[in-house]
Amino acid sequence: MYPNPFSSRVTLEIEGWSGRGLYLQLFDSQGRQVLQQRSRSGSFELHRQQLPRGMYFFRLL
């Protein structure tokens, strides 16, 4: 994940991912899911304007 922390956007890349669908779920510090994205390439880009200020946790499925 880079850059960390980020100001406008952040990229999460899963190296060596082989084409199957991959989901990223993003949760706020209260455990509420705030975002879900799907990727076939194993790369996700999150934009700051989508998220309020705070700490987040992610899960890959």
Ranges of each domain in the chain: 9-60
Contact present, 23 and 33 (Cβ < 8 Å): no
pLDDT band at residue 2 under the 50/70/90 scheme: very low
pLDDT tens string 32-61: 999 999 998 889 998 888 888 888 899 999
pLDDT at 3 over 70: no
What is the structure's pLDDT at 49?
Answer: 86
pLDDT tens string 9-35: 888 888 877 777 899 999 999 999 999
Q: What is the pTM of this model?
A: 0.77
Distances in whole angstroms, Cα of residue 17 to Cα of each of 4, 36, 37, 42, 43: 22, 18, 16, 6, 9
Beta strand ranges found along the chain (DSSP E): 9-13, 22-28, 33-39, 43-47, 56-60
